Structure 1
Amino acid sequence: MSKNFLWKASNERIKNSNLYEFCRYLEKKLNLPLYENYNDLWEWSVKSPSVFWNAFWDFANIKGTKGKKVFLKKDSFLDSHYFEDSKLNFAHNLLFKKTNEIAIHFRGENGYEKSISWKKLYEDVCKLSNFFKKNGLKKNDRVAAYLPNNIEAIVGLLASSKNGHIWSSCSPDFGVQGVVDRFLQIEPKVLITCDYYYYNGKKISLIERIKSLQKMIPSIEKVIICSYEEDSVPSESFISFEKILNANLPDETFEEFEFNQPLYILYSSGTTGVPKCIVHGAGGSLIEHKKELFLHCDIKENDNIFYFTTTGWMMWNWLVSGLCCGASIKLYDGSPLYPTKDILFKYCEDHKFSLFGVSAKYIDFLKKNKFSAGSYNLNNLKTITSTGSPLMKESYEYVYKNIKKDVMLSSMSGGTDVIGCLVMGNIFDKVYAGEIQGASLAIDVDIYNDSGAAVVNDDKGELVVKSPFPSMPIQFWNDPLKEKIKSAYFSKFPNTWHHGDYIQKTTNGGFVIHGRSDATLNPGGVRIGTAEIYRQVESFDEIEESVVVGQSFDDDIRIVLFVKMNLNFDLTDELTQKIKSSIKKNCSPRHVPSIILQCPDVPKTKSGKVVEIAVRMLLNGEEVNNLESIANPECLKYFRNTGLVKLN
């Protein structure tokens, strides 16, 4: 057995899993062999996508009218369609329970808590959807939200989708210009917002920002405002969310729309320009999320699922879909480390989380700070999921030593582009340190070299998807000729989805992501993934985090590494040599940075991803135009003034 082996589910857990039940269903209904090997099941699913998705619709009890055209494959990837003659209502699939059990629980960093039952959630959604109808909103009109991760955001989304409106949300950590850059493009008629929110011990008002948004986005006809806490009084300048619910009767009609009815508009990061508006359909989002939650994460009715996210990250949309499994979802708003670094584990214990979802950076932080969850009762915790960036091998080992021994640690990777995962975990396979367990069911992933041929053995290459899948974007906003979407995903390899991750398949059958393709380093023409260097650098206790980029220099590329030090540490010559020695020993001499410098901070997106491209642009003499996409843009001044900047 591989020395990197960490965990395997018990036979009992496997036999009681949704995935095993699905395999039994396929055996009984379709006379297929009983798949007990995950790769065999995946191979069948990508060879028979029509049969897979048709069977999963029935098995998962998707509510709607399933037509006969399950998959129409055409010559063009983008012209192929799933469930072309099927109809459904997204909200109806999430609101099928009407009990007094808790559907959603909210906890803010200030200690404020609030719950809503399935029954009241259903009623509130129906009341708000009635308000939308009475105020003239039509199918495909946009409803925008500038909201913290609260219950009202989910009520707004479900009411919007119930009527066939298109939902788009930004979290309040976006400044006014960042919101305008996104919402001005899609011209929403309604804006739902909040009076204030908390972060890192600060109470932050949104009122002045909302007034600015009203002036800068002329399409907004109505602003609905909710109270963060029940005792707060929202501004009288706007329509009260609570008053809408009190003044409207529930409209309990659920019209069925076409499978590709637009549901969400999500946004690219916008680091290099105005964010692209990515439109996802109701059917594709629903069936992909239910597959991931139900089969890959083994979510069952009445489970308690949590993901640390904001309304500006696609993991929020993913978390909301947990309702379609009959699970109760848990929301947290604020800093994950305030007032103490164990705040999320207290929440996990108090509400008996079944699934605990966080970013890889959060786990890395806990590891560096030697946090142990041993004092917490995590008996109900079955699965820990990680996404946002590659999870380091050492962080896998840390979880099993310091968080919980008997848990499925599922590193997942996909993105806003696919509103889901391309590679992720499953209950059948073993967990190996540093490896994502496998490809997502019915997603025909492969790894190509730059010539467009599949790599051999365990060579690194480009993550691609060779066949259409339901959760592809249905369009980019204002892209009628599909020029933007073709440029984004189909310009590198003909008629093949190019995802933009630099990836490798292991001898265990899993995957290791070495970073984003556009951030790879090319010294001497050899491609190096940034994650390979981060894995070495961030093993040093003295270093909090780092960013590594390639800079054009003497007709080649040199590697430049910046490190942010932990408190009370400085980058010494001795530590610099230790870093270089570690990289040389564990990677290769080509991986060793030409320059290592200490920086005050590392630029990150709102969802916590390191923005390598911005640093690379600055060092190569280019300007970063869209600072609103960066959570801490003030730190870019350091990189601009390092003395390394190439003069054009």
Structure 2
Amino acid sequence: MAAPIWTPGPAQLESSHLARFTRWAGERHDRTFADYDALWSWSVRNLEDFWADIAEFFGVRFRERADRVLADPSMPADPSMPGARWFAGATLNYAEQVLAPGRGTGPAVLGVGEDVPTVELTWPELRRQVAALARTLRAAGVGPGDRVVGYTPDVVEAVVAFLAAASIGATWASCGQEYPASAAADRLGQLDPVVLVAADGYRHGGRTHDRRHAVAALRAALPTLTAVVGVARLGVGLPDSIPWEAATAGEHELTIDPVPFDHPLWVLFSSGTTGAPKGIVHGHGGIVLEHLKNHALHLDIGPDETFLWFTSPSWTMWNMQVSGLLLGATIVCHDGSPGHPAAGDLWRVAAEEGVTVLGTSPAYLRACETASVRPAAEHDLSALRVLGSTGSVLPPDAYRWVRDQVGADVMVASMSGGTDVCGAFAGGAVTVPVWPGEISVRGLGIALAAFDEEFRPVVGQVGELVVTAPTPSMPLFFWNDADGARYRAAYFEQIPGVWRHGDWITVTERGSVVVHGRSDSTLNRNGIRMGSAEIYQALASLPEVVDSLVLGVEQPAGGYWMPLFVVLAPGAELDDALTERIRVTIRERASPRHVPDDIRVAPGVPRTRTGKKLEVPVKRILQGAGEGLVDPGAVVEPELLAWYAAQARR
């Protein structure tokens, strides 16, 4: 049996937020929790007690208290999904939780970028700018329930704009400027926004991207706008807009309007690669509770922490990074490339800013390994204690690389969750060992299980990722889905009353979780279901293969074709020797059934702008649907789709 790559020490076991909460909850309920698994089991069997405890332990600033923690309006004695109501009657505001007096001991927000000085926003200055911008928004006609949207890179101004909107009770949505104007309009245009906050451009990879024309096009596609607030990121500004400096000028009283617990806080969007992006609506109260729990109990973030997750305002991790402010932590906005001017530049930023919790992706970690980056040898990472990873499955070799090249004392916190809940179903926990290839724990208060084909929970074997009880950060609703039909179809159609997420997982005997890949892109050879992740993990050991895509393509006459497309490192060639090494590696590290029918060199792997491989859309292209199936605006390197369409024609 493999040994853990990280184990908690006395500080984590005694002094962490999780350790303190475990003792506190035990005393409160007159019980003892022997370990994390015991706490998790109690939390999912006693949802009302657990979430009430989260609110009490972290001092959630309710204006009005709830009549009841959890109830279904149609069946008050039997809360169900969808339809469960949390903290009915309670009022609060996310912005008030962030901007409470006495928050934080260091800066509130740091802004770093390429070839620009670091911006530092203190807590008093953050509060002042939020108050001033909220006044500007109100003057532009923004009120509770209205929408304020952003089209910016990951910058300090976006954080201020979101908090200002939230303080009014307006709903926020954002889209990174890597999206073209048409793709941004497909998302933000659904919301009929009142105010747009936009930047004149951004810097990435040593290049300057002037986005003034894109902002103009987006503005034209949003006829409900009454004002645009312009952020001069490139120093040129936007015509016919309120300059950021003017919009945030002066000293003004911060007025925060309390809203109901389930009042819409923000709208996140699905990838939208094969249809209109779904607007997923989350509420103030659910997000406050979920992010307090996740950030403090799972990542051990507190007021003395510095939190950086390399992300974009288009991705749910941006929203999760902002929520570091709920705990008084310093958050770092990163406008630039993590690999410029060198492959390991994100580690330089982490070292210079004293980052304690750093988030990235498996793709970036693999790129650093391929480029022979040695983060701990090249930078002072003594402050770093947690490395988060999400976006795709983190293979076992990556865990070992982090241990060897980043630090044996750094806890790897791989996460599985997503936009749907703006949180993690499974992740790390500072009191639990980390095992290579495994997500350490199921999230507290998350009734996660693996279901077999008979919809029975299984342990130690592959099943569908399901959640069998409600949790506060599940969507309130989908935008423009008045009867809830799209929402129910997305999660509850196959197993009524149970959330089906669409991933294959194994829940191990020790309570950890192994993710095998998307169940809607399952490889199903001769009736045997397999996850694509096992193949990707096997290939991670081959330096010649820098990326890959495996697909199971059902053919019209009942045939089944399982091709593997590989992207090769510079100088590598798919000759007979490498082809055989690939086959042997997959056979030995996964199974003989995982060995593909065909191996082809590809120029790249199409991905969403949040880094997910487009397995299902490319599969449909290979079945003859054509590249027009996929919205190119939602894809990195959309020209790759034409190459796969050509493969289908062959």
- In the alignment, residue 46 of structure 2 is paired with which amino acid? S
Distance in structure 1 (CA, Å) of the matches to 2:314 and 2:452: 33
Aligned to 2:646: 641
Tell whether the 8 Å contact from 1:100 to 1:117 is kept in structure 2 after alignment: no
Provide Cα deviations, 1:463-513, integer angstroms capped at 9, x if missing partner: 000001100000000111100000000011111000111101223321110
User: Are 1:199 and 2:204 counterparts?
Assistant: yes
Aligned to 1:9: 8
Aligned to 1:529: 531
Aligned to 1:95: 99
Aligned to 2:601: 598
- Out of 390, 401, 405, the residue aligned to residue 402 of structure 1 is 405
Q: Secondary structure at the match of 1:102?
A: coil
Tell whether the 8 Å contact from 1:387 to 1:411 is kept in structure 2 after alignment: yes
> Matches of residues 541-552 of structure 1 in structure 2 within 5 Å?
541-552=543-554
Distance in structure 2 (CA, Å) of the matches to 1:611 and 1:251: 48
Provide Cα deviations, 1:181-219, integer angstroms capped at 9, x if missing partner: 111211111110011101111101111111111222212
Q: Secondary structure at the match of 2:154?
A: coil
Distance 1:362 1:597, change over 3 A: same
- In the alignment, residue 24 of structure 2 is paired with which amino acid? Y
Sequence identity percentage: 33
Distance in structure 1 (CA, Å) of the matches to 2:256 and 2:31: 36
Aligned to 2:506: 504
User: Are 1:69 and 2:68 counterparts?
Assistant: yes
Tell whether the 8 Å contact from 2:395 to 2:540 is kept in structure 1 after alignment: no
Distance in structure 2 (CA, Å) of the matches to 1:477 and 1:312: 17
- In the alignment, residue 538 of structure 2 is paired with which amino acid? Q
Single out whichever of 97-106 and 374-383 deviates more from structure 2: 97-106
Structure 1 residue 343: Cα displacement: 1.1
> Matches of residues 258-407 of structure 1 in structure 2 within 5 Å?
258-373=260-375, 374-407=377-410
Paired residues, what number? 639
Single out whichever of 384-393 and 58-67 deviates more from structure 2: 58-67
TM-score by length of 1: 0.96
Distance in structure 2 (CA, Å) of the matches to 1:637 and 1:233: 36
User: Are 1:58 and 2:56 counterparts?
Assistant: yes
Distance in structure 2 (CA, Å) of the matches to 1:200 and 1:286: 34
Distance in structure 2 (CA, Å) of the matches to 1:575 and 1:97: 61
Provide Cα deviations, 1:338-394, integer angstroms capped at 9, x if missing partner: 111121111111111110111121112222222212232212111111111110000
- Out of 418, 421, 424, the residue aligned to residue 418 of structure 1 is 421
Provide Cα deviations, 1:23-78, integer angstroms capped at 9, x if missing partner: 12113333222x24000000000010100111110101111133231111445412
- Out of 37, 41, 45, the residue aligned to residue 43 of structure 1 is 41
Aligned to 2:486: 484
- Structure 1 consecutive aligned stretches of length 4 or more whose deviation exceeds 3 Å: 73-76, 97-101
- In the alignment, residue 77 of structure 1 is paired with which amino acid? M
Tell whether the 8 Å contact from 1:46 to 1:443 is kept in structure 2 after alignment: yes
Q: Secondary structure at the match of 1:6?
A: coil
Distance in structure 2 (CA, Å) of the matches to 1:507 and 1:578: 33
Structure 1 residue 249: Cα displacement: 4.5
Distance in structure 2 (CA, Å) of the matches to 1:253 and 1:238: 25
User: Are 1:241 and 2:240 counterparts?
Assistant: no
Tell whether the 8 Å contact from 2:344 to 2:368 is kept in structure 1 after alignment: no
Tell whether the 8 Å contact from 2:461 to 2:507 is kept in structure 1 after alignment: yes
Q: Secondary structure at the match of 2:267?
A: strand
Aligned to 2:636: 631
Tell whether the 8 Å contact from 2:201 to 2:212 is kept in structure 1 after alignment: yes
Unaligned runs of 5+ in 1: none
Tell whether the 8 Å contact from 1:223 to 1:238 is kept in structure 2 after alignment: yes
Distance in structure 2 (CA, Å) of the matches to 1:473 and 1:253: 27
Tell whether the 8 Å contact from 1:130 to 1:251 is kept in structure 2 after alignment: no
Aligned to 1:187: 192
Structure 1 residue 138: Cα displacement: 1.7
Single out whichever of 76-85 and 524-533 deviates more from structure 2: 76-85
Single out whichever of 185-194 and 584-593 deviates more from structure 2: 584-593
- Out of 54, 64, 89, the residue aligned to residue 85 of structure 1 is 89
Tell whether the 8 Å contact from 1:97 to 1:119 is kept in structure 2 after alignment: no
> Matches of residues 70-219 of structure 1 in structure 2 within 5 Å?
70-73=69-72, 74=75, 76-97=80-101, 101-219=106-224
Tell whether the 8 Å contact from 1:437 to 1:509 is kept in structure 2 after alignment: yes
Q: Secondary structure at the match of 1:539?
A: coil
Structure 1 residue 622: Cα displacement: 0.9
- Out of 463, 476, 496, the residue aligned to residue 494 of structure 1 is 496
- In the alignment, residue 408 of structure 2 is paired with which amino acid? K
Tell whether the 8 Å contact from 1:188 to 1:219 is kept in structure 2 after alignment: yes
- In the alignment, residue 570 of structure 1 is paired with which amino acid? E
Distance in structure 1 (CA, Å) of the matches to 2:362 and 2:633: 23
Distance in structure 1 (CA, Å) of the matches to 2:169 and 2:288: 14
- Out of 448, 467, 480, the residue aligned to residue 445 of structure 1 is 448
Single out whichever of 155-164 and 297-306 deviates more from structure 2: 297-306
Structure 1 residue 645: Cα displacement: 4.1
Structure 1 residue 448: Cα displacement: 0.7
Tell whether the 8 Å contact from 1:627 to 1:633 is kept in structure 2 after alignment: yes
Tell whether the 8 Å contact from 1:423 to 1:438 is kept in structure 2 after alignment: yes
- In the alignment, residue 261 of structure 1 is paired with which amino acid? H
- In the alignment, residue 507 of structure 1 is paired with which amino acid? E
Q: Secondary structure at the match of 1:620?
A: helix
C-alpha RMSD of matched pairs (Å): 1.5
Aligned to 1:565: 568
- In the alignment, residue 521 of structure 2 is paired with which amino acid? A
